Chains A and B, each alone.
Chain A
Amino acid sequence: MSSSATTLEESTPGGPSTGDPLLVVKDLKVHFPTGDGIVKAVDGLSYTVGRGQTLGIVGESGSGKSVSSSAIMGLFHGTNAQLSGQIILDGTDVLTLTEDQMRKRRGRDVAMIFQDPLSSLHPYYTVGAQIIEAYRVHSDASKSAARRRAIELLDRVGIPQPDRRVDDYPHQFSGGMRQRAMIAMGLVNDPSMLIADEPTTALDVTVQAQILDLLQDLQKEFNSAIIIITHDLGVVAEMTDDTLVMYGGRAVEYGKTSEILTHPEMPYTWGLLSSVPEVTGDTSAKLIPIPGSPPSLLNPPSGCHFHPRCTHRDKVPGDLCRTTTPELAPGSRGSTHLKRCHLADPESIYQAEVLPEIAPDLVDELTEKSGS
């Protein structure tokens, strides 16, 4: 098994190198047949996450972020979803596992923290009972041992008086506490892989920061790999080692987070960066939204999925953007930074046209540096 994982890792086309790959996703496709045709929710996605590493997956709603992680969890068993490609988790391709084999790994090897913890926790069972259940399904621990474990974890994620709150129902918790409880439930079996699906979306900013700190601390402690699904680039900058930008079911840019955020090469990523308000910024400054709306995955645009909304497509010679799908390939920044774009020299366009709009002060800084 380990040898096959190694060969697979070798055949992974570029991307940021990760020392000890825990999860290798290769050419993953998740298609849903519907009455109107096939919805290609995820269409050829590849990435790698190493132990102790954090990957951020960003994109608009409907770009396939959550669907790809549900596929890793094996949650499409028994549905009409068509999956292909490979998801190698710790040496095993989870797509070849039976439902029962996958079930035994869910929650133990790979756990998921869902967004909106109010609806993701069962309203009729106490928080403790739900954590205990998650623990006991994968271990032979006695009820009292499992209860101690639940209290210990609630304490670990920062719930005050955990021995009392363990018997509370989810509706008796505040939003931030519910998310902590959700994290406690995800961590109860020490999973090596943790998928956090918009873990801070429903929370206010101070609580957001606490939850993110908590996740970072826990990652250090357990050396687990984390995938954070978000549309908040602030979270990405704060938390992740690598970033994968998704659009219309495909990866459009993939590389080290520091690379992606400082030298983005894909107009969609530029658009995402332009849409982020700056806390210290001028309140009268304009946010620049991406024109148009996300594509229909039932009937996606031809060629580059982003071309109907791309303001830079006239810089590409001919009708290439409309007719030909660009490959996810290394750009000018080396083999660890992949982009799916026809633009020949995105870096200069970014420096000249995009950066002055979104961060004029940064441009000044850079010019000063180069001048001195």
Chain B
Amino acid sequence: MFAYTIRRVISGILLMVVMSMVTFVLFYASSDHPERYACGPKCTPAQLETTREALGFNEPLAEQWAKFAKGFVVGRDFPDDEKLREANPEQVVHCAPGCLGLSYTYNKTVNELLKDKLPVSISLAIAAYILWITGGVVFGVTAALFKGRFIDRAIVGLALVAFAFPTFFIGLLLLKFVAIRWQIVKLPVYTPLTESPWLWATGMILPAITLALVYMAGYIRMTRAFVLETMTEDYIRTARAKGLTKRRVIGKHTLRATLTPLVTLSGLDLAGLLGGTIITEQVFNFNGVGKMSVAAIQRHDLALVVGIVLLIATIVITANIIVDLLYAVIDPRVRLG
């Protein structure tokens, strides 16, 4: 298991290197003269050239990537100018090892920006995850137990409605009616968890519901299908033949087999959201990574785009490794190696 983990981590790192290269190439393939966006609309050709050099866009692509990679390993100064550092050290932004570059839109290092925005996105994703996994399992199991009856049809029907509505629509609806018209909850605002868990939770509730609904709908249907499938398994018949109570047959034998694939699936889904949720953050004006990524792409901010892509890639790759390791723990038949 240890050797397996090491191997997975190494291949993950290699994947990240490739990801950063691909992002560089794609960025240049998709945008013509990215320095125009940094320089502004009233930019003279001379200014444009200066900006181009200042941002390093004049150098060959491979060299730019090499600088980025070196910066990541040993750290980097912006601008990387020996004389300027000696004359005016306050004009130089230092970026410690692990450096992802400097965002010219914010004039801050990408690391700083991510550190700032990531808690918002992670909070949102985790709050939504808790909602959708509990809702999905509870309603899914209920629907399966009442298969074909009114409760089942109601749950599956509502899940379909939730699944069909686009996120921005649900979000705006909740915002307009629940928060503004009826004032059931206050307007969603992000408060750091460390500051006040209560304000964190109450401010998070509408965006979390918005984000969770569509996932919950999917998980209800999946849980229902898994439970129904498991209940036809021979080992469930064995459990009943042993004389176990229905509660134990469902609560232990059926759920154990149902939750195993669900846990792994939900881990991957959560990973996809940790790196920011574009629509929900936009609708509720949460300053998370998702909202920032839209801005970064609109302004052709290479450093920020690469930083966000690598962040999301790291989260997804890590989640994949964790889920695979977890699978070996919860399913005794799985042997890693």
Binding site for B on A (CB under 8 A): 73, 75, 78, 99, 103-108, 111-112, 114, 116, 119-126, 130, 133-134, 137-138, 169, 171, 185
Interface 1/0 per residue, B239-255 and A, CB below 8 Å: 11111111010000100
B244 touches A137 (CB 8 A): yes
Residues of chain A within 8 A (CB-CB) of B239 are 122
B256 contacts partner chain A, Cβ-Cβ < 8 Å: yes
Query: In the bound complex, what is the Cα–Cα distance between A186 and B305 (angstroms)?
Result: 63
Verify if B234 is at the interface (C-beta below 8 Å from A).
yes
Check A133–B244 contact: CB distance below 8 A.
Answer: yes
Interface residues of B in 310-337 (CB under 8 A from A): 330-333
Q: Are A185 and B331 in contact (CB under 8 A)?
A: no
Choose among A121, A122, A126, A130 the residue with the greatest number of B CB atoms under 10 Å from its CB.
A122
| 7 shortest interchain CB distances as A-B pairs | A107-B243, A106-B243, A119-B234, A107-B242, A134-B242, A122-B235, A120-B234
Could you tell me if B234 and A106 are in contact, using CB atoms closer than 8 angstroms?
no
**Chain B residues whose CB sits within 8 angstroms of the CB of A121 once the complex forms:** 235, 238
Q: Is the CB of A123 within 8 A of B332?
A: yes
Contact in complex: A137, B242 (CB < 8 Å):
yes
B237 touches A120 (CB 8 A): yes
Say yes or no: A122 contacts B257, CB within 8 Å: yes
Residues of B226-242 whose CB lies within 8 A of A: 233-235, 237-242
B50 on the A face (CB < 8 A)? no
Instruction: Please give me the residue from chain A that is nearest to B239 by CB atom.
Output: A122
User: Mind listing 28 A-B residue pairs with CB under 8 Å?
Assistant: A75-B237, A78-B246, A99-B246, A103-B244, A103-B245, A106-B241, A107-B241, A107-B242, A107-B243, A108-B243, A112-B241, A114-B237, A114-B241, A120-B237, A121-B238, A122-B239, A122-B253, A122-B257, A123-B332, A124-B257, A126-B332, A130-B238, A133-B242, A134-B242, A137-B248, A169-B332, A169-B333, A171-B333
Bound-state CA distance A116–B237 (Å) is 12
Q: Among B235, B243, B253, which residue has its beta carbon within 8 angstroms of that of A104? A: B243
Say yes or no: A137 contacts B238, CB within 8 Å.
no
Please name the residue on chain B nearest to A189 by beta carbon: B243
Contact of B241 with A171 in the complex, beta carbons under 8 Å:
no
Closest Cβ of chain B: how far from A35's Cβ, in Å?
12
- In the bound complex, do residue A123 and residue B235 qualify as a contact, i.e. CB atoms below 8 Å apart? yes
Q: How far is the CB of B227 from chain A (nearest CB, A)?
A: 15
Min CB–CB distance A171 → chain B (angstroms): 5
For chain B, residues 150 to 195, give those with C-beta under 8 angstroms from any C-beta of chain A: none
